[in-house]
Amino acid sequence: MKIYTQTGDQGKTSLISGERVPKSHPRVQACGEVDELNAVVGALAAALPPGTEAVAAELRRIQSDLLDVGAWLSAAPGSDIQQQLTPLDPDLAGRIERRIDAMTPSLPELKAFILPGGHMSAAWSHVARTVCRRAERSAIALVIPETGGESQGEARNGLAPAIVFLNRLSDYFFVLARYLNHHTGIADVPWRK
Amino acid sequence: MQLYTVHVKGRQWLTDRIFEIRFDRPSGFDFRPGQKIAFVFEQNSRDYTLLGPAHGPELSICVRHVAGGHFSPRLAAAAPGDVFQVTAPSGFFTFKPSPRPAVFVATGTGVAPFVAFERAGVRDFHLLHGVRTAENLIYGPELAAAARAYVPCLSQPVAAGGSTVHFTGRVDAWLATRLPSGGYDFYLCGNGDMIRDVMRLIDERFHSSHVFTETFF
């Protein structure tokens, strides 16, 4: 099976709802950033230290959830295809919050800004955090009128769980980075002026 | 992954290489016309579009028998009662009603989802079916009866005295010369080369169109 289709050689691609749009379209950009985040999560999972199997399972679940989020982002608002997509779990963000809450008590109190880095897995988690923030900004741009967003009403409601999920997810990656450094015996490096 | 067990009910050859095979329908097995299932065998799988109707006691698919292939010979040789494992239906290549005229474009057995659409009551569509020779125009009368325009596109010349109600050439050639400019809902199902060529044409001539694709190789 050939991986290349040559259908985008004119600079256009198709949304899942059928529209042919430039590859620079904001909806394509948002999908691409969620895809990029998913790839970074894969790199993070590959760098996990021994004894973090539960984290690996969490990350696999997050990767699947991100594919669902990508499908919703790639459907134009009000399109028929939205009726066929499985609604996003309203508890997506809640699940992430519970993981944050479970990791936090084991960590030293945070008294200063910290520098991204440490164990390889923690460094990847910081990369995931920042890519996640960018994906969140792009997703929000699709629904906020001030930024030319086109998703209104019900269509916006369909995306609401995705946007809250992306927001919590970046917080999760911040805590996970600290958790992984703590787990591997690496201290946070505080910011010094 | 949820798997269903299905039993062969019967088989009908449509040409010397293409056949339709029917299975009993497991309870709770619902699908949208245009969706496909995968047959799972020996750590491998093959996708086939369900022909429809979406409701009824049987499932049916259309298969091109590939001599020496991994799976189609098993279906070609299967007897009533033989058992296969299939996945739940999946895919988004389903008909979406819209104010734009629908143009279905198929090559070979890629016509299967359009049969499913037609059996679900979709009407008033253009259908281009690209095949090498007229004998491969499977489901032609059934589709022609429901279509606004049914256009067989034969890539090989027809012998004297053969079909005269066809277009000689590829589907993209018909679209380039016969379909008025405008916005359509294109549904493309077939080989990757056809989809690439038609997509280029859509980007050049039919800018405000929507496009849905299902590629097989």
Which residue in this structure is represented by tokens 């010349």?
B157
Question: Are B145 and B56 part of one and the same domain?
Answer: no
Burial category of B198 from C-beta neighbours within 10 Å (exposed 0-12, middle 13-18, buried 19 and up): buried
**What domains are there in chain A, each with its CATH number?**
36-73+88-106+114-186 (1.20.1200.10)
Same domain for B57 and B108?
Answer: no
Contact A107, A178 (CB under 8 A): yes
User: How far, rounded to the nearest angstrom, does the alpha carbon of residue A80 sit from its chain's CA centroid?
Assistant: 25
User: Based on the domain organization, do B29 and B70 belong to the same domain?
Assistant: yes
- Distance from the Cα of A73 to chain B's closest Cα (Å) equals 15
pLDDT band of residue A1 (cuts 50, 70, 90) is low
Let me know whether B79 and B108 are in one domain: no
Contact A17 B210 (CB under 8 A): yes
> B61 and B122: one domain?
no
- Taking an 8 Å cut-off on Cβ atoms, the answer to whether B202 and A20 are in contact is yes
CA nearest to B91 within chain A: A84
Total-model pTM:
0.86
Distance of alpha carbon A20 from alpha carbon B20, whole angstroms: 34
Say if residue B185 is in the same domain as residue B131: yes
According to DSSP, residue B132 is labeled S
Angle between helix A92-103 and helix A153-183 axes, rounded to 10 deg: 20
Most distant CA atoms of chain A, gap in Å: 55
CATH number at residue B171: 3.40.50.80
Q: What angle do CA B73, B78, B83 make, to 5 degrees?
A: 115
Asked if residue B35 belongs to a domain, the reply is yes
Same domain, B17 and B73: yes
Q: How far is CA B98 from CA A49, B106, B185, B215, in A?
A: 52, 20, 8, 23
Q: Please name the residues in contact with B11: beta carbons below 8 A apart, sequence gap of 6 or more.
A: B19, B20, B21, B22, B75, B76, B78
Cβ neighbours of B215 in A, within 8 Å:
5
CB within 8 Å of B77: residues ≥ 6 apart:
none
Which of A3, A4, A7, A81 would best serve as a mutation to test chain B binding (most B beta carbons within 10 A)? A7
Determine if the peptide bond prior to B141 is cis (ω within 30°). Answer: no
Q: Is residue B31 part of a domain?
A: yes
Whether residues A7 and B213 touch (CB distance < 8 A) is answered with yes
Q: Is B200 on the interface with A (CB under 8 A)?
A: yes
Q: Do A7 and B209 touch (CB under 8 A)?
A: no
Q: Please check whether residues B47 and B131 belong to one and the same domain.
A: no
List CB contacts (< 8 A) between B32 and chain A. 84
Q: Tell whether B32 lies on the interface with A, counting CB pairs under 8 A.
A: yes
Q: Do B203 and A10 touch (CB under 8 A)?
A: yes
Same domain, B206 and B107: yes
Query: How close B163 comes to chain A (CA, Å)?
Result: 33
Q: Three-state secondary structure along B98-111?
A: CCCCEEEEEEHHHH
Contact A27, A13 (CB under 8 A): no
| Residues spanned by the domain of B109 | 102-215
Q: Give the pair of three-digit tokens for residue A151.
A: 């998703």
- Confidence class of residue A121 from pLDDT cuts 50, 70 and 90? very high
Number of domains composing chain B = 2
Say if residue B114 is in the same domain as residue B31.
Answer: no
More confident position, A181 or A77: A181
- Among B55, B87, B119, the domain boundary falls at B87
Q: What's the CATH code of the domain at B45? A: 2.40.30.10
Whether B179 is covered by a domain: the verdict is: yes
Same domain, B110 and B208: yes
Which residue, among B31, B210, B213, B216, would best test binding to A if mutated, counting the most A CBs under 10 Å from its CB?
Answer: B210
Same domain (yes/no): B123, B75: no
Domain assignment present for residue B96? The answer is no
Cα–Cα distance for residue pair B146/B123, rounded to 1 Å = 5
Task: Answer whether residue B55 is part of any domain.
Answer: yes
* φ and ψ of B159, to 5 deg: -65, 155
B95 in any annotated domain: no
The pLDDT tens digits for A143-190 are 876 666 766 555 566 788 999 999 999 999 999 999 999 999 999 988
Residues B92, A80: C-beta atoms closer than 8 Å: no
Supply the pLDDT for residue B172: 94
Last residue of a domain, one of B87, B116, B145: B87
> What is the rounded distance in angstroms from the CA atom of residue A39 to the CA atom of residue A31?
12
Q: What is the pLDDT along chain B (217 residues), one digit of tens a residue?
A: 789 999 999 999 999 999 999 999 998 899 999 999 999 998 899 999 999 788 889 999 999 999 999 999 999 999 999 999 999 999 999 999 999 999 999 999 999 999 999 999 999 999 999 999 999 999 999 999 999 999 999 988 776 555 557 899 999 999 999 999 999 999 999 999 999 999 999 999 998 999 999 987 5
SS3 B6: strand
> Which residue among B64, B87, B110 closes a domain?
B87
Flag whether B94 is in a domain.
no
Residue B184, in any domain of the structure: yes
